[in-house]
Amino acid sequence: MLPQRLIQLSLHTLKTVQNNTIQLNQQTIQQAYTETHTIQLNPKPITLKPNRTQTTIAAVDTSNMKIGETSTGIIAAVRGAAIWKQNKHYHYTRLGPFIFHITEENKRQLYQTLATAYLNTNDTVHAYPLNLTQMPNRIANLLEKWLQTTLTKTLTNSLILFDGSLTAGTPDTPMPLMKEILNTARKRNNTVLAFSKMTNLRANGYLITDALPPHKPPYMLETSGFKPKPPTVLLGDVYVAKLTNGNYAFRLDIDKEIPHEQKIEAAQKLLGNDHIQQSYPETLRLAHILCTFTANEVIAMQHFTTRRYNLKIINRPDMHRLLFGPYGKGDMNA
Amino acid sequence: MKLYKKEGNILQILSFPNETAEKGDYLLVEDADAGKALIAQVIDMQFASIPGVLEELLRSLPDGGELIQGEDFDPLEIAPHITYIQDASLLICKIRATVEGENLTPSSSWLPSRSQSTIKKLPIPTLLKLAKVDGKLPIILGSTKDASPLTIDASSLDGRLNIITGKKETGKSHLSKLLMLNLIGYGATVVVFDLNGEYHSLGMTSDGKRNSYYDKIHVLTPAQNFKVALKQLNLQVLLGILIHALHLPGTSAREFRRIWQSLKERDMLTLHELGEAIRNWHCNQHVRDALFSRYHALVNSGFFTDETGGTMLLEEYLFKAKEQGGAIIINLRNTSTIDRQIVVEYVLGKLVELLTSWKLKAVFLFAEEAHLYLRETYWDDIVTRMRHFGIFTTFITNQPDTIREHIYRQADNIFLFNFTNEHDLEVVSRAARVDAETVKSIARDLPPHYCLTLGKVVKDFPMVAKVKALDVKTMGETRLFFKNAD
């Protein structure tokens, strides 16, 4: 099964860019998310013991990259990876890269078509503004949701790892869809665990992943009192997971609807079936590694677009460089 | 291919997987606007430094070294572009010349356009034509990688000092035989110091039949068909042997000169009379002993005789070769170190004598592993003084450090076979006619029988060629204990 709509739209948008000029760009688009929340952290750790009952561990991640600018918009690439560990071996399915030419003119139509296909709704298109620079991220999120849905529908008795949290009600994660994903997972006896690499949740003024009791890992800490601002809702219970020695701990969201014991069991099965390094599961790390674009791939995609669509590379002056000379280091370090 | 960088006379050229270039190949970097082109030779190949390649390789090996299994759905078929970029290589090229119209100058002082220059492979025949590597006396050395013949002119060996070197069993002797046969084919006189007795069958085809060189190959084996009568011996030549080969001190040499003159005046120059004269000569006992020990060395070599008949073969063959071309093979196999030095000293002395008196025009001397029979001071003699007399030497060795550095510096042509040893490459790279990088980089990767030709014969455009086969009976095979064990 392939995300056909993504393929069709990728090819369709690229057709509009033929014989245009392109300004190459290798900078990643970073999401700005700064809102912080204060919650309570239960200092009594839940000690975890690895449960080696054979369980499939699966994970999903996507990435996106702006690979250039045209006179009317941007050219961006999106890729997703699903990875699962079965019988001690890792397997993967990687989708993409899908390359899009996104313009002010086609962005709404593009997103609407994809949202209808993968979010089962196009309400979000009208509810939230569509920023051109955020479009690659938005499309990647759609692909991620599609991959998550596919995994929950395909696997049984497995642990499914998401990158991020189990919050819903955001532009790319409508609540009905997220609920549907978690419901499907539950029906097939799968448990969804979401690992956040970054968190803004604080307890007593400290980030929840920093203020940890001196207890021997692996363990989890329960949290309470997290009430996201509507329309965002939380579909999982938030924990802090410190799965190995060292200074690493992560926010871990586990499906709210499953019993407490099953949540603990899921974490213990993860410990018993996956390789955990720096408190982070290898399956999820691999999903991230496999979908991330390397510089070599970015050059290859630029090569592809310029050759296939006869784009002429132009070098627009870098205003930072132009104005500030060696002190102007571009957006990344501004 | 794209021009990436120029540093000094080194060009870095980006090459993509569909563009095949190898070490030794020549490239033409043409700048149409400037109306000029650079001729550069690939001396090394590296992977282009593509950002992200390490990450690419690492992510394919995450599971304890085991390849991760999976499927890629790549609807736009980007993967070939990734490998295309990943496999890009960087050609390190040495600028050899600039072409402007029909003119070739050894200059690299201008900078071709990075964006507009076109880069293509320069076929060897085109380069040979441009460099005017031609002449009336062609010698086909072999074929280049693009299957075109590499032809040099025999006259570019004339008056030159040549070195053939490479590790064992790479084809040095084969090339020296090829050069030698071609030279005698053009009527040249060639003298070979044949250390291992591998040249004496060059007049035969590989199946044992006589070939066109049969009558031109003359083998002289010391103490067998090559002997010298004292009466026909020049005193200077004999003193050369005594002093240089047998290390006779100066005082004793003066006494020997007197003894010799005394015998000559009485027409009594025989081995027996010489021995008697030394015995009865009024001189210091130490001098007598010194003279006696050298006398016995001369007698024991078997190279000297009292018989005058049949002792003039060397001169006879040299004159014959002067008329129609030919090679005199001095077979030094089974000859002791001292005897070898005596014979070589005699032959060189004789050659100088004949050349000085213009009885001979010039001689091409092929010396295999010369350090085994050539005295220290002769190296300088051969490359400087004897060159003016008309002895044009080709040294053949698998131990390049046995040839002194200044000889490499004066060498006009070097035929270099494979060397893997850093030290050997370091020694050869001191040659003045080529840069060290070229020698080290190309010679290390030469397959057997491939030769890197450097110097005047190729107008200073180093070229790699597979040395052509010869239909002659080769005698250079090593004797093996287990040869028939199968």
Q: What is the pLDDT of residues B410-430, one digit of tens each?
A: 889 999 998 888 888 888 887
Q: Could you tell me if B399 and B371 are in contact, meaning their C-beta atoms sit under 8 angstroms apart? A: yes
Tell me the shortest Cα–Cα distance from A110 to chain B, in angstroms.
Answer: 18
The interface predicted TM-score (ipTM) is 0.80
CATH number for the domain that contains residue A217: 3.30.420
Average pLDDT on B187-213 reads: 88
Residue A332 pLDDT greater than 50, yes or no: no
Q: What is the pLDDT of residue A270?
A: 94
Q: A89 to chain B: which residues are within 8 Å by CB?
A: 63, 66, 69
Is A294 close to B56, i.e. CB distance below 8 A?
yes
Report the C-alpha gap between A6 and A12 in whole angstroms. Answer: 10
Residue A13 exposed, middle or buried by CB count within 10 Å (0-12, 13-18, 19+) = buried
Residues in chain B: 486
Euclidean distance between the first and the last CA atom of chain B, given in angstroms as a whole number? 51
Q: What is the pLDDT of residue B95?
A: 93
Residue A87 pLDDT greater than 50, yes or no: yes
Q: Which has more pLDDT, A62 or B436?
A: A62
Q: Do B220 and B343 share a domain, yes or no? A: yes
The Cα angle at residue B332 between residues B330 and B337, in degrees rounded to 5:
135
Is A83 close to B82, i.e. CB distance below 8 A?
no
**Which of B149-158, B368-377, B431-440: highest mean pLDDT?**
B149-158
- Residue B245 resides in a domain: yes
Q: Could you tell me if B411 and B417 are in contact, meaning their C-beta atoms sit under 8 angstroms apart? A: no
CATH number for the domain that contains residue B331: 3.40.50.300
User: Which sign does the torsion angle of CA A242, A243, A248, A253 carry?
Assistant: negative
Q: Where does the pLDDT of residue A34 fall: very low under 50, low under 70, confident under 90, or very high at 90 and above?
A: low
Q: Where does the pLDDT of residue A331 fall: very low under 50, low under 70, confident under 90, or very high at 90 and above?
A: very low
Which domain-ending residue is among B253, B273, B305?
Answer: B305
Q: Is A94 on the interface with B (CB under 8 A)?
A: yes
Residue B375 pLDDT greater than 50, yes or no: yes
DSSP B281-335: --S-HHHHHHHHHHHHHHHHHS-EES--TT--HHHHHHHHHHHH-EEEEEE-TT-
Q: What percent of chain B has pLDDT over 90?
A: 31
Q: Do B105 and B213 share a domain, yes or no? A: no
Residue B483 pLDDT greater than 70, yes or no: no
The residues pairing with A222 across neighbouring beta strands, listed in sequence order, are A239
Residue B364 pLDDT greater than 80, yes or no: yes
Q: Do B373 and B456 share a domain, yes or no? A: yes
Q: What is the pLDDT of residue A327?
A: 67
Instruction: Give the position of tokens 């918009």.
Output: A73
**Which of A36-45, B178-187, B398-407: highest mean pLDDT?**
B178-187
Q: Do B234 and B220 share a domain, yes or no? A: no
Q: Which of A97-106, A121-130, A154-163, B48-57 has the lowest mean pLDDT?
A: A121-130
Q: Could you tell me if A60 and A287 are in contact, meaning their C-beta atoms sit under 8 angstroms apart? A: yes
Q: Do B265 and B361 share a domain, yes or no? A: no
Which of A139, A121, A123 lies closest to A131, judged by CA? Answer: A139
Q: Is B316 on the interface with A (CB under 8 A)?
A: no
Q: Is B475 on the interface with A (CB under 8 A)?
A: no
Q: Where does the pLDDT of residue A122 fall: very low under 50, low under 70, confident under 90, or very high at 90 and above?
A: low
What is the domain range of residue A36? 4-333
Q: Find the CB nearest B73 among A94, A295, A301.
A: A94
Average pLDDT on B234-260 reads: 90
Question: CB B42: neighbour CB atoms within 10 A?
Answer: 22
Q: Classify strands A191-196 and A250-255 as parallel, antiparallel or unpaired.
A: antiparallel
Q: Which has more pLDDT, A66 or A34?
A: A66
Q: What is the pLDDT of residue A26?
A: 42
Q: Where does the pLDDT of residue B129 fall: very low under 50, low under 70, confident under 90, or very high at 90 and above?
A: confident
In the structure encoding, which two tokens stand for residue A129, read together? 């503004």
Q: What is the pLDDT of residue A29?
A: 39
Which of A98, A297, A307 to mutate against chain B (most B CBs within 10 Å)?
A: A297
Q: Find the CB nearest B76 among A99, A298, A299.
A: A99
Q: What is the dihedral of CA A160, A165, A170, A171, to 10 degrees?
A: -60
Query: Using one digit for the tens of pLDDT, what is the confidence trace for A213-222?
Result: 888 999 999 9
Is A92 close to B59, i.e. CB distance below 8 A?
no
Residue B290 pLDDT greater than 60, yes or no: yes
Q: B85 to chain A: which residues are within 8 Å by CB?
A: 296, 299-300, 303
Q: What is the pLDDT of residue A28?
A: 42
Q: B53 to chain A: which residues are within 8 Å by CB?
A: 294, 296
- Residue B144 resides in a domain: no
Q: Could you tell me if A152 and A184 are in contact, meaning their C-beta atoms sit under 8 angstroms apart? A: yes
Q: Where does the pLDDT of residue A262 fall: very low under 50, low under 70, confident under 90, or very high at 90 and above?
A: very high
Q: What is the pLDDT of residue A251?
A: 92
Q: Identify each DSSP E strand in chain A by its residue range.
A: 21-24, 37-38, 40-41, 46-47, 56-69, 73-86, 89-103, 158-163, 167-168, 191-196, 201-203, 206-207, 219-224, 233-234, 236-242, 250-255, 276-277, 280-281, 312-314
On average, the pLDDT of chain B sits at 86
Question: CB A11: neighbour CB atoms within 10 A?
Answer: 14
Residue A160 exposed, middle or buried by CB count within 10 Å (0-12, 13-18, 19+) = buried
3-state secondary structure of A233: strand
Residue A313 pLDDT greater than 70, yes or no: no
Q: Where does the pLDDT of residue B404 fall: very low under 50, low under 70, confident under 90, or very high at 90 and above?
A: confident
3-state secondary structure of B82: helix
DSSP state of B154: G
pTM: 0.75
Q: Do B192 and B255 share a domain, yes or no? A: no
In the structure encoding, which two tokens stand for residue A151, read together? 């995994």
Q: Do B184 and B325 share a domain, yes or no? A: yes
Q: Find the CB nearest B76 among A97, A295, A298.
A: A97
Estimate to the nearest angstrom the gap between the alpha carbon of B198 and the chain centroid: 16
Q: Do B60 and B10 share a domain, yes or no? A: yes
What is the domain range of residue B257? 228-305
When divided into structural domains, chain B yields a total of 3
Q: Where does the pLDDT of residue B63 fall: very low under 50, low under 70, confident under 90, or very high at 90 and above?
A: low
Which of A2, A143, A299 to mutate against chain B (most B CBs within 10 Å)?
A: A299
In this structure, what are the phi and psi dihedrals at residue B170, rounded to the nearest 5 degrees?
-105, -10
Tell me the shortest Cα–Cα distance from B32 to chain A, in angstroms.
Answer: 22
Is A304 close to B76, i.e. CB distance below 8 A?
yes
Report the C-alpha gap between B56 and A296 in whole angstroms. Answer: 8
Q: 33-92 in B: which are within 8 Å (CB) of A?
A: 50-53, 55-56, 59, 62-63, 66, 68-76, 78, 81-82, 84-86
Average pLDDT on A136-164 reads: 92
Q: Could you tell me if A147 and A82 are in contact, meaning their C-beta atoms sit under 8 angstroms apart? A: yes
- Residue B397 resides in a domain: yes
Query: Using one digit for the tens of pLDDT, what is the confidence trace for B172-187?
Result: 889 999 999 999 999 9
HSE, CB side, 13 Å, CA atoms: give it for residue B222. 29
Tell me the shortest Cα–Cα distance from A8 to chain B, in angstroms.
Answer: 10
- Residue B473 resides in a domain: no
Q: Do B222 and B279 share a domain, yes or no? A: no
- Residue B140 resides in a domain: no
Average pLDDT on A137-163 reads: 92
HSE, CB side, 13 Å, CA atoms: give it for residue A326. 0
Is A294 close to B68, i.e. CB distance below 8 A?
no
Q: Do B314 and B277 share a domain, yes or no? A: no
Report helix, strand and coil shares of chain A as percent, to nearest 5.
35, 30, 35
- Residue B291 resides in a domain: yes
Q: Identify each DSSP E strand in B102-238 by its residue range.
A: 103-105, 118-121, 138-143, 149-153, 162-165, 189-194, 217-220, 228-229
3-state secondary structure of B452: strand
Residue A210 pLDDT greater than 50, yes or no: yes
Q: Do B46 and B12 share a domain, yes or no? A: yes
Q: B72 to chain A: which residues are within 8 Å by CB?
A: 94
Q: Do B247 and B259 share a domain, yes or no? A: yes
When divided into structural domains, chain A yields a total of 1
Q: What is the pLDDT of residue B328?
A: 93
